[in-house]
Amino acid sequence: MPVIKNVTCPICGTLCDDLDVTVKKNVIIDVKNACAVSEAKFMSFSNPEHRNLKPLIRKKGELTEVSFDEAVKKSAQILADASYPILYGWSCTSCEAIRVGVEIAEEVGGVIDNTSTVCHGPSILSIQNVGIPTCTLGQIRHRADLIIYWASDPYSAHPRHMERYTAFSEGRFQESGWEHYVARLRGILGKKRLSRASERVLMEEVSLPAIAGKKLPPEFETKKRKLIVVDVRKTRSAELADFFIQVEPNRDFELIQALRLLVRDEELEVDKVAGVPVELLEGVADAMVRCDFGVLFFGVGLTMSSGKQQNIDAAIALTRDLNYRTKFAIMPMRGHFNVAGANVVSTWQTGYPFAVDFSQGYPRYNPGETSVVDILCRDEANAGLIIASDPVSNFPKEAVQNLVKNPLIVIDPVISPTTMMADVVFPSAFVGIEAEGTAYRMDRVPLPMKKLVNPPPTCLSDKEILQRILRQVRKIKQRRKA
Amino acid sequence: MSTIEVTLLTGRTIDQGTTKEHGKLSDEYRENVAICEMDPNDLKELDVKENSNIRVSTKHGSVIVKVKESKRAPHPKIAYMPYSLWVNIIVNPQTHGTGMPSFKGIAAEIQAAPTEKVPSIPQLLKQTFRKE
């Protein structure tokens, strides 16, 4: 049976490119090296129960099957008639499709925004403010000896990130911490057994030591490659870490600024910051300064809570401070597989990475004003085109109410709350499974997405659907000019 | 009926990630995302048992979901819900000029709701966003 090697995974920004996929008669029957989420996608993407298989148009309140040409004509009419349409999504499609999307936005004088607006948008604003000392994931795999995940749970959102690039990867100059973790896990399980046995004998509860103590554990000093997790809850990633720091919600900014002071050898005249003992923070600052090459990965826990871009400003400033003492890098944990690509394409085409407004005939960028959630909450848009995204599930209610009351075109391989509220639905092919293209990894390394099987005959690629809509929009505009 | 005040966080879980690939209309997806994880002591204070229904309310709305005892405890007075339609209808839309709504760290109240049902996606869409 043909095994397609080195397949790039169309799930998260880690963009693992070592999957082996077995295909038999245009059906994927096995996938190796995939994480749980990736395996779920490869093995169930073709399930017709949750797939859009025919173009649909809402008629008398019901979504009704139509021809592809009719759906294209209706969509082009909606976009050409709208004075301020929004074009949103883009992070789960190819760079080639995004490029066509930018052309449509310019043609119709709309706003093109991608999912980074509700993900790492504040990180981008901060990078534009402060700059970013960063590197590629390969550098981290081979050289980083201190890894910090801050407000990020890679176990859940980027399941193979640790295995491929950080604590559990075997680098050229750094060993994997996997064996150490397994030994520690055995120790914890042994203690748990002992505790349960003691409870039976003593008839009283025997508590286990918490991961988050007041001091770094002694073995932390001797370990070569160290992993610290900072989060508001003891996430699954925190359980894998050498040390977990539990910060109070909405107080990351204070904690980062406290670490900045300690890295600069200043003293803190309090006992705790954001619920974390200063004694412990001193140990962490010491570990940061003493490492050879540290990296701080941060998640949307920083961008979505109080402070938003201020949190990222502080985190980047901490990294900059650390670079006076040692080598340190910082990187946002990008979510969707091509969200970085959406920023890259948008930047090279328009000059701006997201929230680009073409209503004046030239690109304008002012997040807070030209970002989709703000436009919708102010009820300014009068049509929408959504591609490879589900904003009805992911946006706040106030924004969704104004999104769905206007004509809504959705291009998506799967049935979602957004396709259920649409006026026009295009069934599309899955990029990276049924259509090829290019995607950018979280460190902005471009990788090819392969076509493994043929899509159902009624499903075209995102790029093709968008090109057909663009051609039709141009026809309408030319007719109007004539 | 007792009410407790919590800080509501939303985020990803591995089960949310895998079950969304099985279809957002699947029962499996609903069982894994229409939930609220709470600290065991908060469950005792609220006098509710795991898997019973609760009402989570913010000043932007309220929703009925199942309560789960958190395996990530202790996190007193912090409630956690996976990203989904259920929780996003009650999050704070305020972007503070950044474009990003406040999906984490939202003030919320939780009450037991033993007689109410967890709505399905079509029910939630119908009651929240009517489409003419």
Element holding B62 (H helix, E strand) = strand B61-69
Give the C-alpha distances (Å, rounded to integers) separating A388 from A77, A327, A415, A425: 21, 38, 11, 11
The A residues from 317 to 376 touching B (CB cutoff 8 Å) are 354-355, 367-368, 371-374
CA count, 13 A, side-chain hemisphere, A48: 4
**Structure-token match 């910082």, residue found:** A330
Number of domains in chain B: 1
pLDDT level of residue B120 (50, 70, 90 thresholds): very high
Can you give the CATH number for the domain in which B7 is found? 2.40.40.20
Q: Does residue B1 carry a pLDDT above 90? A: no
Give which of B13, B98, B103, B120 to mutate to test A binding, by max A Cβ within 10 Å. B98
Q: Does residue A42 carry a pLDDT above 50? A: yes
* pLDDT tens digit sequence for A79-91: 999 999 999 999 9
Handedness of CA A122, A125, A130, A136 (dihedral sign): positive
* pLDDT tens digit sequence for A399-430: 999 999 999 999 999 999 999 999 999 999 99
Residue A232 touches chain B, beta carbons under 8 Å: yes
Identify which of A54, A36, A1 has the alpha carbon closest to the alpha carbon of residue A419: A54
pLDDT at A208: 43
pLDDT at A283: 93
Q: What is the mean pLDDT of residues A332-345?
A: 97
**Structure-token match 């301020």, residue found:** A84
Residue A55 CA to chain centroid, in angstroms?
Answer: 29
Pairing of strands B78-82, B3-11: parallel
Which residues are within 8 A (CB) of A88 and not within 5 positions of it... i.e. 6 or more apart?
A: A112, A113, A114, A115, A372, A384, A385, A386, A387, A389, A391
| Burial degree of A106 (CB within 10 A; 0-12, 13-18, 19+) | middle
The B residues from 1 to 20 touching A (CB cutoff 8 Å) are 7, 9-14, 16-19
- Report the 10 Å Cβ neighbour count for A214: 11
Identify which of A111, A462, A161 has the alpha carbon closest to the alpha carbon of residue A335: A161
Give the C-alpha distances (Å, rounded to integers) separating A202 from A196, A197, A209, A447: 10, 9, 18, 59
Q: What angle do CA A416, B16, A307 make, to 5 degrees?
A: 95
Residues of A in contact with B105 (CB under 8 A): 249-250, 304-306
Task: Give yes or no for a cis peptide into A413 (omega within 30° of 0).
Answer: no
Beta bridge partners of B81: B10
Average pLDDT, chain A: 94
What is the topology classification, in CATH, of domain A49-119+337-481?
Rossmann fold (3.40.50)
Q: Where are the alpha helices (DSSP H) in A223-308?
A: 236-240, 252-263, 278-290, 300-303
Determine the Cα–Cα distance for residues A424 and A66; give it in Å rounded to an integer.
10
Determine the Cα–Cα distance for residues A420 and A429; give it in Å rounded to an integer.
18
Residues of A in contact with B80 (CB under 8 A): 233
Beta-carbon contacts below 8 Å between A and B:
186
pLDDT at A250: 93
Q: What is the mean pLDDT of residues B54-68?
A: 96
pLDDT at A203: 64
The tokens describing A187, both together, are 């120790």
Residue A163 CA to chain centroid, in angstroms?
Answer: 18
Residue A38 CA to chain centroid, in angstroms?
Answer: 14
Q: Does residue B90 carry a pLDDT above 90? A: yes
| Structural domain containing residue B57 | 3-128
- Domain limits, chain A: 49-119+337-481, 122-332
Q: Is the pTM of this model over 0.90?
A: yes
Residue A308 CA to chain centroid, in angstroms?
Answer: 16
**Structure-token match 């989060």, residue found:** A231
The tokens describing A61, both together, are 């309140």
Identify which of A259, A251, A316, A246 has the alpha carbon closest to the alpha carbon of residue A288: A259
Q: Does residue A151 carry a pLDDT above 80? A: yes
pLDDT at B57: 97
Phi, psi of A163 (to 5 degrees): -70, -35
Q: What is the mean pLDDT of residues A125-136?
A: 95
pLDDT at A146: 96
State the smallest CA–CA distance between residue B124 and chain A in angstroms.
10
Identify which of B78, B62, B71, B79 has the alpha carbon closest to the alpha carbon of residue B118: B62
Q: Does residue A40 carry a pLDDT above 90? A: yes
pLDDT at B131: 64
pLDDT at A204: 59
Which residues are within 8 A (CB) of A133 and not within 5 positions of it... i.e. 6 or more apart?
A: A316, A319, A320, A323, A328, A329, A330
pLDDT at A192: 79
Amino acid letter for position A181: Y
Name the superfamily (CATH) of residues A122-332.
Dimethylsulfoxide Reductase, domain 2 (3.40.228.10)
Pairing of strands A27-32, A19-24: antiparallel
Give which of B15, B21, B132 to mutate to test A binding, by max A Cβ within 10 Å. B21
Q: A470, A100 in Cβ contact below 8 A?
A: yes
* pLDDT tens digit sequence for A230-272: 999 999 999 999 999 999 999 999 999 999 999 999 999 999 9
Determine the Cα–Cα distance for residues A435 and A284; give it in Å rounded to an integer.
46
| Burial degree of A22 (CB within 10 A; 0-12, 13-18, 19+) | middle
Q: What is the mean pLDDT of residues A67-81?
A: 98
* pLDDT tens digit sequence for B18-55: 999 999 999 999 999 999 999 999 999 999 999 999 99
Beta bridge partners of B64: B55
Q: What is the mean pLDDT of residues A149-167?
A: 96
* pLDDT tens digit sequence for A1-10: 789 999 999 9
Q: A426, A411 in Cβ contact below 8 A?
A: yes
Q: Does residue A206 carry a pLDDT above 80? A: no
pLDDT level of residue A178 (50, 70, 90 thresholds): confident
This complex has an ipTM of 0.95
Which residues are within 8 A (CB) of B132 and not within 5 positions of it... i.e. 6 or more apart?
A: A61, A405
pLDDT at A213: 63
Q: A408, A422 in Cβ contact below 8 A?
A: yes
